[in-house]
């Protein structure tokens, strides 16, 4: 394979990765904790878009529980967002693990 063809393929892949990154802002995932008492949504570009907390779970005497529920829901949403991002990139890279892309 000649070097010019390799460079062209690299340019095409780079453009596809840039397009995928742009598309990630439009991929939204959600996660819940506490049986749906805390809901978190995020995009595949790792940005939280919303957090909703059922007022019934707000107990001034048990702030630790609410903090744990929020943390659990945020981590679950970000894990789903990461999966969505990896799915986008896998189609371009042929499934090669390329750390640091997203």
The model's pTM is: 0.74
Chain position carrying tokens 């679950």: 76
CA distance 46 to 20: 14
d(Cα 95, Cα 100) in Å, to the nearest integer? Answer: 14
Are 48 and 42 contacting, i.e. CB atoms less than 8 angstroms apart? yes
pLDDT score at 30: 97
Which pLDDT tens digit goes with each residue over 36-62?
A: 999 999 999 999 999 999 999 999 999
pLDDT at residue number 23: 83
pLDDT at 42: 96
The predicted pLDDT at position 9 comes to 83
CATH numbers and ranges of domains, the chain: 3-93 (3.30.1310.10)
Predicted pLDDT of residue 20: 79
pLDDT (0 to 100) of residue 99: 54
Low-confidence stretches of the chain (pLDDT beneath 70)? 1, 93-102
Q: Give the integer Cα–Cα distance in Å for 30 and 90.
A: 21
């Amino acid at each position: 394979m000649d070097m010019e063809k390799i460079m062209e393929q690299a340019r095409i892949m780079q453009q596809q990765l840039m397009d995928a990154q742009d598309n990630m802002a439009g991929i939204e995932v959600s996660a819940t904790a506490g049986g749906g008492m805390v809901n978190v949504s995020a995009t595949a570009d790792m940005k939280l878009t919303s957090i909703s907390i059922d007022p019934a779970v707000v107990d001034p005497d048990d702030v630790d529980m609410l903090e744990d529920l929020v943390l659990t829901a945020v981590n679950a949403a970000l894990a789903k967002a990461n999966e969505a991002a990896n799915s986008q990139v896998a189609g371009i890279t042929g499934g090669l693990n390329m750390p640091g892309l997203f």
